[in-house]
A and B are shown apart, each in its own frame.
Chain A
Amino acid sequence: EIVMTQSPATLSVSPGERATLSCRAGQSVSSSLAWYQQRSGQAPRLLIYGASTRAAGIPARFSGSGSGREFTLSISSLQSEDFAVYYCQQYKNWPRTFGLGTKVEIK
């Protein structure tokens, strides 16, 4: 299975600042990469698919980039509702696999 590695595990950011999260795949997944946000006590929410396409209703401050093995999720100006855990997921191969997540916390 393809192992997904996210870094850092925790990111401390002040509101209004930019956050950059990384995800590395154990082998190339082309652009078959998604990002999810999970707020405390809630179900996950799809943010990005195809490595860089925002899902319906996702604000433009969220952007994804990368292909192959290296991917990045950027949040341009953190709002209070953005403090959450973010997961990357590959869907190039079965089984689909998630990273362990990056927690974005208030600095």
Chain B
Amino acid sequence: EVQLLESGGGLVQPAGSLRLSCAASGFTFSSFAMTWVRQAPGKGLDWVSSISDSGSATFYADSVKGRFIISRDNSKNTLSLQMNSLGAEDTAFYYCARDLRGSGTCDYWGQGTLVTVSS
């Protein structure tokens, strides 16, 4: 069974940093691209970043480019998102998702971790 478990969310002050992790199991992690999607409370879905299966290619939304870094450790089946210079607009649930092979869609999602940026 495919499982994605996010961790690392919490309350952080404006301009602060936070690192999210996603532990993957139930599939060959190194064979799939992975994605982070966020959702502000009561709002719609917002694609954040994606990384190729090898980690050699990364993609970012303009809103996070230069502030967030996506990475993966295929030896530990772990996806990460380093978030720097956080602002109130980054407050959201952050979902880790697996990309459907050969597609730019996400076929499995974690339950999300909440990041709150507030003083």
Binding site for B on A (CB under 8 A): 1, 32, 34, 36, 38, 42-46, 49-50, 55-56, 87, 89, 91-92, 94-101
Contacts and interface: CB of A to CB of B under 8 A. Distances in A.
Nearest to A35: B105
B100 A49 contact: yes
Contacts of B110: 43
Given A43-B112, A91-B104, A99 B50 contact: no
Given A36-B45, A46-B105, A95-B47, 5 more contacts: A46-B107, A87-B45, A89-B45, A98-B45, A100-B44
B32 interface: no
Given A43-B95, A87-B45, A94 B59 contact: yes
A96 B50 contact: yes
3 residue pairs, one from A and one from B, having the closest CB atoms: A91-B104, A43-B109, A34-B105
A87 B44 CA distance: 8
Interface in B78-119: 95, 100, 103-107, 109-112
A95 B100 contact: no
Contact of B106 (A46, A50, A95, A101): A46
A8 to B, nearest CB: 15
Contacts of B104: 32, 34, 91-92, 96
B109 A44 contact: yes
A100 B39 CA distance: 11
Interface in B30-76: 35, 37, 44-47, 50, 59-62
Contact of A55 (B35, B47, B107): B107
Contacts of B61: 95
A48 to B, nearest CB: 9
A98 B105 contact: no
Contacts of A1: 62
Given A50-B103, A91-B103, A95-B61, A45 B109 contact: yes
A56 B115 CA distance: 31
Contact of A95 (B59, B95, B111): B59
